[in-house]
């Protein structure tokens, strides 16, 4: 049910059908916002639609690849067609290839795997911002949130060199775009989650996740909702003075 006194947004969420993405989608729907949920997994997208908005009133799913500029053109058209003028982009899609559930040593990463991680984790957000910035500039409002990682802060333990490199690169992209976009009412920020009990963390053994607990002062893994709360803070219409920052959501395991 919508609260008419609140200003509603159209939120584009990539990687929406994954563990963290779903939590982010739920948080926008709970605020009465429209969501354009983007993912490459059609089956997971239709499950998302059935579970969260079966009548399709507020959630629009789009089967798109964030590495493809033509798909971003379709997403931009969907945003422009939306009734809301306040646009949010959450660049959340990401991949972290493993070998038998384990980190791949950097000197063994094949070039094609390096290239595909760069394409999804870094080129994807770049293309997304390029695609949606013109509309945000016209409306004089935008909130962009890029999903980095603790690995982008400290080099990472469970993800490979390619993963850490892209997540650090995303912080530079965030700051540089933040400077350029600030005069247009657009903020650009990043979130660096630590170990979250969802999505790609399920790709490693319970033992690895249990061992990781000792590094987290709060004493638990994070939940998708912990990340979604940080997204909501950075995507708030009222929050126009915080830009170029990285919000660490890690239970105290890294204090930058
Ligand atoms: N889970 C964690 O512990 C953790 C920690 C730090 C950062 N992150 C980051 O959070 C984000 C979400 O991670 P998650 O744990 O939910 O992973 P996940 O694997 O559950 O979700 C990622 C989603 O992205 C989609 N995707 C992959 N490639 C795509 C592409 N080319 N175009 C569109 N969609 C694509 C996948 O289909 C999947 O649904 C990622 O950027 C990840 O790096 C996760």
Which CATH number covers residue 202? 3.40.50.720
The answer to whether the CB of 61 is under 6 A from ligand 1 is: no
What does the block give as tokens for 16?
């929406």
What pTM, to 2 d.p., does this model score?
A: 0.97
Q: What does the pLDDT read at residue 4?
A: 45
The three-class DSSP label of residue 75 is: helix
Q: What does the pLDDT read at residue 135?
A: 97
Q: What does the pLDDT read at residue 84?
A: 72
Ligand 1, atom 41, lies closest to the CA of 94
Q: What does the pLDDT read at residue 6?
A: 56
**In the chain, which stretches have pLDDT less than 50?**
1-5
Cα–Cα distance, 168 to 151 (Å, whole number): 8
Cα–Cα distance, 183 to 125 (Å, whole number): 20
Q: What does the pLDDT read at residue 2?
A: 47
Residue 137: CB atoms within 10 Å: 15
Atom of ligand 1 nearest to the CA of 120: 31
Q: What does the pLDDT read at residue 7?
A: 74
Question: Is residue 254 in some structural domain?
Answer: no
What does the block give as tokens for 192?
């660096």
Question: Is residue 1 in some structural domain?
Answer: no
Question: 238, 38 in Cβ contact below 8 A?
Answer: no
Question: Is residue 71 in some structural domain?
Answer: yes
Catalytic: 254?
no
Question: Is residue 194 in some structural domain?
Answer: yes
The answer to whether the CB of 39 is under 6 A from ligand 1 is: yes
Question: Is residue 256 in some structural domain?
Answer: no
Question: Is residue 189 in some structural domain?
Answer: yes
Report the domain count for the chain: 1
Cα-to-centroid distance, 4 and ligand 1 (Å): 33
Nearest to 239 by CA among 178, 186, 174: 186
Cα-to-centroid distance, 18 and ligand 1 (Å): 6
Domain containing residue 39: 9-249
Cα-to-centroid distance, 91 and ligand 1 (Å): 10
88-118 burial code (b ≥16 CB/10 A, e <16)? bbbbbbbbbbeeeeebbeeeebeeebbeebb
Q: What does the pLDDT read at residue 132?
A: 98
Question: Is residue 255 in some structural domain?
Answer: no
Assign 3-state DSSP to the chain and report helix, strand, coil percentages, each to 5: 45, 20, 35
The three-class DSSP label of residue 212 is: helix
69's enclosing H/E stretch is helix 69-81
Total residue count of the chain as it appears in this document: 256
């Amino acid at each position: 049910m919508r609260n008419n006194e609140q200003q509603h947004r159209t939120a584009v969420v990539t990687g929406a059908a994954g563990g963290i993405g779903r939590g982010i989608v739920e948080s926008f729907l709970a605020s009465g916002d429209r969501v354009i949920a983007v993912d490459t997994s059609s089956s997971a997208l239709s499950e998302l639609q059935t579970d969260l908005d079966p009548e399709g009133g507020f959630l629009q799913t789009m089967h798109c690849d964030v590495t493809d500029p033509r798909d971003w053109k379709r997403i931009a058209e969907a945003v422009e067609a939306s009734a809301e003028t306040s646009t949010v982009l959450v660049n959340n899609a990401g991949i972290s290839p493993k070998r038998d559930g384990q980190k791949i040593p950097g000197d063994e990463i094949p070039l094609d795997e390096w290239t595909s991680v760069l394409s999804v984790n870094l080129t994807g957000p770049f293309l997304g911002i390029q695609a949606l910035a013109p509309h945000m500039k016209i409306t004089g409002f935008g909130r962009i949130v890029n999903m980095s990682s603790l690995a982008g802060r400290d080099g990472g333990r469970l993800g490979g060199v390619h993963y850490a490199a892209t997540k650090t690169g995303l912080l530079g992209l965030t700051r540089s775009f933040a400077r350029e976009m600030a005069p247009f009412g657009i903020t650009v920020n990043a979130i660096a989650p630590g170990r979250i009990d969802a999505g790609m963390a399920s790709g490693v053994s319970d033992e690895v996740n249990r061992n990781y607990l000792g590094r987290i002062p709060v004493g638990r893994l994070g939940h998708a909702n912990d990340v979604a709360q940080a997204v909501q803070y950075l995507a708030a219409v009222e929050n126009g003075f915080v830009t170029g920052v990285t919000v660490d959501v890690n239970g105290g395991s890294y204090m930058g």
